[in-house]
Chain A
Amino acid sequence: MAQVEAERGLCKENTQPLREGLAVTGLHLSHQEGSCHAAIQQQRQAFELELHMYTGDDPLDIWDRYLKWTLKTYPQGSKESSLTAMLERAVQLFAHDKKYYDDPRYINLWINLAQNSMEPLEMFSYMQDNGIGLTRADLYIAWAEEFEKHGNFQRADAIFREGLKCRAQPMDKLQQYHNGFQARVAHQAWSATEEEPEPARTSMVDLRPRGRKKAVAPVNRTEAAGHSRSLNLQLPRRSARHIQKNPILGFNENQADSLQAAQLKLEPWMAPPSSRANENQVMSEQLADIKIPQKSWCSASSVTVPASRLNFQPFVEEGDQTPSVSACKIDPAVNTVLSDRPPPSKEESVLEEGGGGGVKEQSMYLKELLLNGAVELSIEELRAEHYFARKRQEIEETIQQQSQAKERLRQQIDEKQRLLQLQQSQQRPQLSQQDDTGTDSMQITECRSGTVLPSSQPNAMAFQIFDEGSQSGSAHGSGNPIPCEKDMCPDDVFLPAGDRGLCFKTPYPFPGGSIPLSERTQLSKNFPERTESLNEEVVSGHKNKTLCSSPEDTQDFVKAAKMASSPYHAMGQRAVSPNAGILTKEPSITPQLDADSDGRKKLSPIQEASLEAWGSMASGPTSASSVCTNSGGKAVHHLGRLKDSHAEPHPEAMDQNSPCIQPVIEDPCSVRVRQRLLDQVDLSSFPNFYSEDGPLPMAEEDGVLILGNDTFATYSKMDYENFSIYAGQGGGDVAIKLERTPVPWDFYIGSQLRERLARDSQAPVHDAGRCFLFQDGCVTVHKASQQSTLREVAEESFEEIVASLAMQTVELVRLMHSCHLIHGALSPDTLVMNRHYDEPMDKISAAVALDFSCSVDLELQPEVTAAHILPAAQNFITQDLLAPSASPYQVDLLGIAETVHTLLKKRTMRLVKEDSMWTLEEYQEARPSDRSDAFWSKFFRTVLNPGDRPSVSVLTELLEDMKKSTFACYGA
């Protein structure tokens, strides 16, 4: 602090005094510019932003605060403060608004401008002539002080009197200043008299005016010499009276009036005098409408165009011509148009050089908005500010929501903990009971998704080939100067350009048979979904739409682009290449690369289209290529429909053509098939099924959803490919899944699971939730006691917890398979942990699936006899992990492997084949001594290599093994 004070001391002489005193903070800021520069800039930015964004009816308020801030922040009036520019702009901004003319804040702006200008007196005169601040004492005080600085006491006094005459408010303040002024004058006169006897005086200090201008010494000392030395300085009135007797300093009313007339009634002003002398300073655009007598004190006031004073009306652009230019390059022989100033013809107007000769103009953009602040903005900057302001607001809202959700959760946790304690006290007697009654206490019900990752995520867990070709890719990725994780899909980075590992799918058969080759290559690769945010809208809003069918539907872009994969769909051949799926440590890099370049070359061999060609295209009814694309378009259309029935995780699977199977087997997961299947089932006989008339109700985050007789509050929303899940409340916490297809397949599968499990008294009870079917969609409501998806749980857990999650997943699949149901799309994002807080630690219950949209009921769909029929299997088949003829159940085993691996390693699997057994790269050389290695190695070997054994027995055995292992933290 002492140092700061010292610093201040060093430069405080430069500090301009403020009437209300200087804020210490501001002073300190100004003295520590280096460190506080950013803070100041930020504050300034805030003011600017406020000015540009202000929509209220008193913008002057901001200016007023801005001015005060500037004065405090830049007490030395540094150039950086751009005080003058700011004042000029502010003053001009309100010049058209008479209501501000007597506003003390506006007058304050003017006074500050005047005091910071080169010619303050001119400014004051201008104000007076334009009726600005005539009723404000401040004007007269400042004005008089200015005269006083210049030593012109006579006029200063005249100004004071003028103010008093106008009854400028506050009167007593004016009077007080006037008195003070008179006292000073008297004193000066007196001291002048006193000093008179010493004509040889060397110092003029006392007489130097206080202003920054060196004015002439004001007092005619010889005239003052006659005054009595006994003037009583305590009595300003008296002294003033004395002074009045002085022929020059003296004052009498009549004389004053004439003086005023002479001095103050100048010719009318065109515009405020410029406050600056530097001609290169840009004048505000606002001034485009008025003429500023720039540099009027030194020259060229003749330039001033006589516009009406302060006329902010359209501006006459007379001088805007460049006569020297207009004469040039005109070839009279050729040109009939290029006369110097031709009447602009409609068709062929000459570029009018400069001047339009007296055409009034008005700007059709929001000039005021751009120029509102002291700094001009471009349209884009304004828009960006608006964008950022909105974004900030959104973020704040999100934070608020999250804190609310957190609070809710905390309350729940407290409650559960209380219950848990309660339960623990009763646990022992209950335990013995449970052994008798089996699994009564186990409920496979309350599945919940708190914050499930958006649908674009599933790709992340797709399988991947470990590929040495990826080294370059990863090297590039790691060499990436600015690591920006969100931009780099981890599953992309490790693959050669364009490759998505096992993400690419064997194309699904087109019902119509073959598709054009061009389409096939287009379909070959996945679109990098991570980079899209439009996905959600696509999903929720635009179903069953033809690709690019209508220009109105911009959402189609994503779909279309998805099929197009990379712009140059360079990897076109890859998907149909028989080698593509082989998992080896030495993938066929070279052929792939060749394929790349080939694909690239083959790409869009568009001839240089001449105009003629286009013309003929236009005239011909249908060109060959458009036929081609149209047929492709139809095929795509069909695909789009197929796709709708698939939520995830690999909807792309459908978009592909499988070369290895016979054509025309209907997708067992398509909406149409399911609709047909459900027609055979009397859903209304199922408990908790409600069929509602009318369309799907609107659901939104933090809204209310009324379903049947129940009302649910909805909170956070997670969007998936074909559905959304809301966290909600209504008779306890629930998860509400909204689907846009009126096919309650999820509920059907859930109900089947419940029914079939019930056949076995040993099996746990499954709750299928409640289902509300609407005309255009359906809503499934699950009780949800847990907020976390498996991915979220695993995110911050030890391997032991993951082992538990793995067991829950295995248990779920085991239960489903025992009921002849195939899940089809296991994913850490749609599985929810099912351990209640109050549940005994030693029970393993099945994870809860929030999504059955890829599920198949083999009792209802006996035609599904082999894995290749399932869309979800295509991925695995391509990798050779799964034989096309394998049991469809095996799809889920691989799904388990994929899911658990994602939970465990947070990345996709890299598989290697050893002695005809698949294993994971990281467990290839597992040390048997390491418990973790041993556990997982065995786990993955089992699920990846089920052989021909029935999946239920594989899973049962696996589960037993896992339970026995001491590794899993709550294995029995």
Chain B
Amino acid sequence: MDDSSAETVLSVSANSIRITDVTQDGDVLTFAITSQKLNSSAGVCVFRTYEDFDWLQQSFFSQENVPGLQGIIFPPLPSKAFPLQSSTQAKALKQLGFLALGQNWQSYCKALEFYLQQAATHPSLCKCKALDGFLTNSESPGKQRGKKGIFNRLSQAVEEMRKESHKDVDNFFQNERNKNTNLAASSKLATEKLLDVVMTEQKLALACGHFSTSLHLCVNQDDAAAVAFSKVCLKLSDIIEAVKRNFEKVASNNLSTLGLGLDLESRYQEAEKEMLFRRTCKLIELETVKKSTEKAKPHKREVMEAFQKAVEKEFSLISSVAKQEIERFQASRVNVLRSFLIGWCEQQLDTAKECAQLYSQHLEAFKNMYSK
């Protein structure tokens, strides 16, 4: 499963990939993935766990015979989700951000869905046999741990921080690295701050619920004045209930559109950062080799020069793949953000209009009730 033949093509339509269901058994989440076969109208449905996704990602990393593999911006896989109990919620929020919220893992499933779609539409990755198998094999890839990827998650060791700021030889890439640094930081921040807003909205909904319930305790039928007062309290309770539902809806809209979008953007910027870092590391390797070659003793020089040429070739392949990837990424991310922003605005607008309508009805009803 590690060798990817250049002729392999994905047998399902990338746009049809959906995660339709998720079930939880103890600590393990199982996702149902459906897609449409390309050459027939048949649908395929498979069941996968997070381990399977992780295996897929590793398979991408460890492909052989893909020139300039390191220049690919790999679609980011969300962190592993684990069931939320109160003790783990803070941790989950920290690790998963928006994806931890929402009902029944909806956002998380959406994120996994994007991941698969991005992989399936990627010019190189779609040819990876592992992807086709992942999407169509009824058997799960199992706990196979093939070759470990040639690179793991970017760790922030001090030495690597130093490497990250290594000056580039190419303006295009230097600019891109600068831009990426800024965007990655800003989008991460924006995502976190939106998450704060959503948490506060949820708290507000709870407070409204509490208030609304307390108002019910004011019901007292002792005499006419008490009855009148009770009616007023119950009416207020209804209103506060409406306020509560509004907050819930607003929070859920934020979550499922802009929140998801910012989260995706932020993780993609990280993915780009990793790619750029890999290239920078290769650059540093090349420069180091060049220096060694210059200093090499004559009897070793030929070997070194051959080695240097190989590294040069690798580097230039990576750079050219990277360039294409960057251009592709720049084009698509704007579209992705655009559609999230529009979706968000439309949903919030609808919710706001509905809510205004509801308040208006309450107001009319209230005034009518008392305008005797």
A binds B: no
User: Which A residues are closer than 8 A to B by beta carbons?
Assistant: none
Q: Which residues of B contact A (CB under 8 A)?
A: none
